[in-house]
Amino acid sequence: MYFLKLYIALYLSANASHVPDECCFSFYPKRLPIKSISHLKTTSSSCPVAGVILHVKQTAIMRWTSNFY
């Protein structure tokens, strides 16, 4: 019985450890100008919350981060 419980625990922990590399856990609440976005991609369907990862141009990053922080 002990080995069965150990096997189940190891099996569940191994399967639960599969998390995608890029998930969104925090979100920026404001709109970004479309011209500042260089490209985007959606997060994996395995992520707990659906999201979009935006890559912005270098000059836009400097202005945006100084206003955000």
C-beta neighbour count of 56 within 10 angstroms: 19
Kindly list the domain boundaries of the chain, sorted by start residue: 21-68
**What pLDDT sits at residue 29?**
80
Select 21-68's CATH number: 3.80.30.20, 3.40.50.300, 1.10.150.120, 2.40.50.40. Answer: 2.40.50.40
From first to last of its 69 residues, what are the pLDDT tens digits of the chain? 665 655 556 555 555 455 566 777 778 788 888 888 888 888 888 888 888 888 887 765 556 566 655
